[in-house]
Amino acid sequence: MAERERGGFVDQVRIFLKAGKGGDGCASMRREKFVPYGGPNGGNGGEGGDIVLRASPGCNTLTELSFHPHVAAADGGNGKGKNLYGRNGEDTVVPVPAGTLVLIGGRVVADLSKEGDSFLAAKGGRGGRGNAMFKTHFNTAPMISEKGEPGEEATLDLELSLLADVGLAGFPNAGKSTFLSRVSAARPKIAAYPFTTLNPNLGVVTHKYAGFVVADIPGLIEGAHEGKGLGDDFLRHILRTRLIIQLVDPQGFGGVTPEKSVKVIASELSGFNPELGARKRLLVVTKADLPEAAKAYAAIKKKYKKDEVFLISGVTGEGVSKLLDRVIELLPSLPVPELYKPEEKGPVLELKMDKGFRVENSGNHRWNVRGPRLKTLLAMTNFGQPDSLERLRRIFKGIGLDKALKKAGAIEGDIVSVEGWEFEWQEPLPSSGREGKFAYKYKHNIKMEARRKLLKKKK
């Protein structure tokens, strides 16, 4: 999705995120004079930093992100000896305007509709464990440590939808900008030619101690929702509005009569978003100071009897107060549109390791094994440590990978690629079962018995 920009105003951008990598765990032993049985004391690595999108005040467009679309968070610090843990990576907070929609693959996943709303866009990786965490009763001096987990990477599309209560729609040169400058302090560009407005404009209106925000977008033409003109670029900016004021030029536009223009604009709004077409609207004939205005007003009022029709002049102010009276009367009863409704999450299903991979035969005695959890496991394995390799071999056996490869037809000497890491396949050794434990206990008992006999002789 390409970013869209009009005169420095950017309302659509694609960003690329990379969260911080977790710090590596440490493998060290306590070696101090006069301290027997020191044991492992390697600390864990710190967590990688997250990337958070947050609706922030003072941020009005996505221009800054369009210049710097690649965002990265800090990595976690490595663990050290003496059970010292690595520092956590600092989170990166990306400020975005309030009203920003977050999309992944064209699907809305978050709506930052008000200041302070935030979205965790990329999660930092967890820190690797040091060898102190692998100490057990049977392995009191492990030399195993994990590398840090890689941080998440994400590609997001951001779309800005301005926060406004009332949206102005109509053909080009219908008087939208003139009306906005009349009722608010906004000063959009005004000229006697169409497509004067190239960017959406916001104006705060205060009328009889009531206030609301009005959004003015570039003029629409027939086929705007299909990409003609500028309308499809900016129609999203009135999606949040509770009320649509459709302004009608009494002189028509491009051979379209004022009465027909009402239908054309309504069709464009519905074509862009059905909910937008069904929203409450007020029909307003502008330029009341022109001779054609009274005739157009009478014709529209006769044809659209179900709609409320007003006649105003943005230049002289005629009829404007009456229109604003109706607006502040309607707004409290109109609901605020929801652009994003979180999906209901079903029960969380645990992913079993024995079903967390897929074995593929690539031919020529080569096998490919894929699995998201295997990818993380290998990324966190320290291949420079023999004990870590032995642990990895036990995990492969425990999750059923050995059995799956043998069942698929792997033979001695085949190359097995597990998420990009290549291994040479060997027939798994038979398990010793409980024999090893009994042998250990038997040898231990012999030593204890010999010691007892020695003590008896000394006595």
What is the Cβ-side half-sphere exposure of residue 147, based on CA atoms within 13 angstroms?
17
Clarify whether residues 113 and 222 are in a common domain. Answer: no
* Residues spanned by the domain of 315: 166-333
Residue 119 bridge partners (DSSP): 53
Same domain, 148 and 179: no
Q: Residue 64 falls within a domain, yes or no?
A: yes
What pLDDT shows up at residue 329? 92
| 176: in domain | yes
- How many structural domains is the chain composed of? 3
The answer on 274 and 191 residing in a single domain is yes
Q: Is 325 found in the same domain as 216?
A: yes
**Position 441 in a domain:** no
Look at residue 435 and tell me if it is in a domain. no
Q: Is the dihedral of CA 281, 282, 283, 289 positive or negative?
A: negative
Q: Is the same domain home to 9 and 136?
A: yes
pLDDT in tens, 107-165: 889 989 888 899 999 999 999 999 999 998 888 889 999 999 999 999 999 988 877 88
Same domain (yes/no): 136, 179: no
| 17 close to 154: Cβ distance less than 8 angstroms | yes
Specify whether 273 is located in the same domain as 375: no
- For 318-414, strand residue ranges (E) read 358-363, 366-370
Instruction: Say whether both 371 and 311 belong to one domain.
Output: no
3-state DSSP percent of the chain in helix, strand and coil, to 5: 30, 25, 50
Residues 181 and 325 in one domain: yes
Q: What is the domain-level CATH number for residue 375? A: 3.30.300.350
The string of pLDDT tens digits covering residues 336-377 is 887 776 654 433 333 334 457 888 888 888 888 888 888 888
Helix or strand or coil: residue 129?
coil
Q: Residue 175 carries which side chain, given as an amino acid letter?
A: G
Return per-residue pLDDT of the chain as tens, 459 residues. Answer: 444 444 456 778 999 999 999 999 999 998 888 877 788 999 999 999 999 999 998 887 888 898 999 999 999 999 999 999 999 999 999 999 888 989 998 888 998 988 889 999 999 999 999 999 999 888 888 999 999 999 999 999 998 887 788 988 888 878 888 888 888 876 655 544 444 555 677 788 888 888 888 888 776 765 544 444 554 566 777 888 889 998 888 888 777 888 888 888 888 888 888 888 888 999 999 888 888 888 889 989 888 888 899 998 888 889 899 999 999 999 999 888 877 766 544 333 333 344 578 888 888 888 888 888 888 888 899 888 888 888 888 888 888 888 888 888 888 888 888 888 888 877 655 554 443 333 333 334 444 445 455 555 555
